[in-house]
Amino acid sequence: MAEPDYLNAFKECELCEHRCQVDRLAGETGVCKVTLPTVASAALHPAPPESYTVFMAGCNYKCLHCQNWSISQYPDNRIRQRGFEDPQKLATECVEHLDSLAGRRMGADRIFFSGGEPTVHLPYIEKVVAEARKLRLQTKVNFDTNGYMTRESLKTVLGFTTSITYDLKAYHDEIHQVLTGASSVPVLRNAEYIGRHAKDKLWEYRIVVIPEINSEEIKPLADFIADIDVSLPVCFLAFRPNFVLERHMGATRSLMNNCVQIARDAGLQNAYWSGFVDIPGTIMDVDEQIKASYSADNARLAGSYARLAGCQTHPRSCLACDWHQDCQIKSYLPTIAT
C-alpha cells in the first residue's frame, strides 16, 4: 500500500535546520530519532491561549533544562506515548473537545501543537489541521516552537497557523549550543522574520530564565527584539529545576523582575514574567576537563552539567556528535521533579 502523500517529506527529512536527510519512513533516524509522527498526549489546557493541546513526542533539541523531557526525549527514555494517530481521527477528537461543554467553559478556541518540537512532525500536523478545518472551517491553530526550522518549514507554519508561541533560549551561539545542542543562528533568523513579517501571528516570544546560565542573555535578547519592533510581546518564564539541571537553583523573584526591567530599558512595551520562583537548589563546580571547550563562564557551567549527565562532545553540537544516535542526554532520567 502506498504511503499517504503527507508522509513524503519524511523520506528525506529536511524539516528542521539539522537537515539530516534520513528516510524516517524506512526507520532511519536523525538527531531527533523520531520515525513516524507520534502523539504523546492531548487534553484541554487552560494556559493562554486556552486550547485543546496536542503534545507531539520527540524534539530536535536536547535541552539540559527541558520541562517536558518525558515527551521531548522520546524514544530513548522509553516512556510510553500514545503513538501514531490517523490525522482524520485526531482532527475529529480536537474539534469535539473544543466544542464540548468543558472546552466552551474554559474558553478553548484553538488546537495548540506543542511537544517536544512539532516541527519534526510538520507535514502530519498540517494534515490534521486540514482535516479539522473540513469539520469546522474557522478552526484556529497555535504552533509552539523552538524556532529551529528551515525557511521552507517556517513558510509552511505561517501558512496554516493562527498564532505562534516562540521559544528563545539564548542570543549568543555558544550558550545556545551548550543548552540545546543546536545553533541560535536559524532561531534568531526565524524570530526576526516573524516579528517583521508576521507580527499578527505572534502570541509571544518566551524566554526561560536560568540563573547563572542564560541570565546574561536577557539584555542581548531584549535588544534584539526591540530592534525588530518594540511592541512585540515577550514573556520571561522562571526556570524551575528540571531534567539535567534538576538540582540547579530556580529563578528568584528579583531575577525575574530584573528581566522585565531590562526589557523595558531596551524599549520593549509588552514584557512580563510568569512561573514559580525561589525554588532552592545549588550551582555545581565547573568541570576542569571541559573548561577549554568554552570561552564564557556560563557556557562552561552548562557544559559541566552536560558532561556529568554523559554528554561526550564539547563544545556541544548534536549533529556533529559521533554519539548522537546513542546520546546519554537523550536517555537521561532525572530523579527530582518540580
pLDDT per position in the chain (338 positions), as tens? 457 889 999 999 999 999 999 999 999 999 999 999 999 999 999 989 999 999 999 999 999 999 999 999 999 998 999 999 999 999 999 999 999 999 999 999 999 999 999 999 999 999 999 999 999 999 999 999 999 999 999 999 999 999 999 999 999 999 999 999 999 999 999 999 999 999 999 999 999 999 999 999 999 999 999 999 999 999 999 999 999 999 999 999 999 999 999 999 999 999 999 999 999 999 999 999 999 999 999 999 999 999 999 999 999 999 999 999 999 999 999 998 77
How far lies 290's CA from each of 65, 213, 235, 302, 313, in Å?
19, 16, 33, 10, 10
Q: Domain of residue 209: give its range.
A: 205-338
Closest CA to 198 of 235, 145, 238: 145
Indicate whether 261 belongs to any domain. yes
167, 183, 218: which is the final residue of a domain? 167
Tell me the residue ranges of DSSP E strands in 154-251.
163-167, 202-209, 234-238
Residue 81 lies in a domain: yes
Considering the domain architecture, whether residues 147 and 213 belong to the same structural domain is answered as no
Q: What is the pLDDT, as a whole number, of residue 38?
A: 97
Q: Which three cell numbers stand for residue 80?
A: 510510553
The answer to whether residue 68 sits within a structural domain is yes
Helix and strand totals (H; E) in the chain: 10, 8
Q: Number of folded domains in the chain?
A: 2
194 belongs to a structural domain: no
- 122 shares a domain with 66: yes
Phi, psi (5° rounding) for residue 79? -85, 130
CA 142 from chain centre, in angstroms, equals: 13
- Do the domain assignments include residue 182? no
Residue 305 is assigned to a structural domain of this protein: yes
User: For residue 177, is it within any domain?
Assistant: no
How deeply is 47 buried, as exposed, middle or buried, from its count of CB atoms within 10 A (0-12, 13-18, 19+)? exposed
The rounded distance, in Å, linking the Cα atoms of 56 and 319 is 21
The pTM of the full predicted model, rounded to 2 decimals, is 0.96
pLDDT at residue 283 in the model: 96
Q: Give me the pLDDT at residue 2, please.
A: 59
Query: What is the pLDDT at residue 338?
Result: 74
State whether 15 and 125 are in the same domain.
Answer: yes
- Across the chain, the runs of DSSP E, i.e. the strands, are 39-45, 51-56, 110-114, 140-145, 163-167, 202-209, 234-238, 271-274
**98 and 220 housed in the same domain:** no
Whether residues 2 and 113 share a domain: the answer is yes
Same domain, residue pair 269 and 161: no
Last residue of a domain, one of 137, 167, 197: 167
The answer as to whether 41 is a domain residue is: yes
**Domain check: are 151 and 222 in the same one?**
no
Q: Looking at the structure, tell me whether residues 235 and 336 fall in a common domain.
A: yes
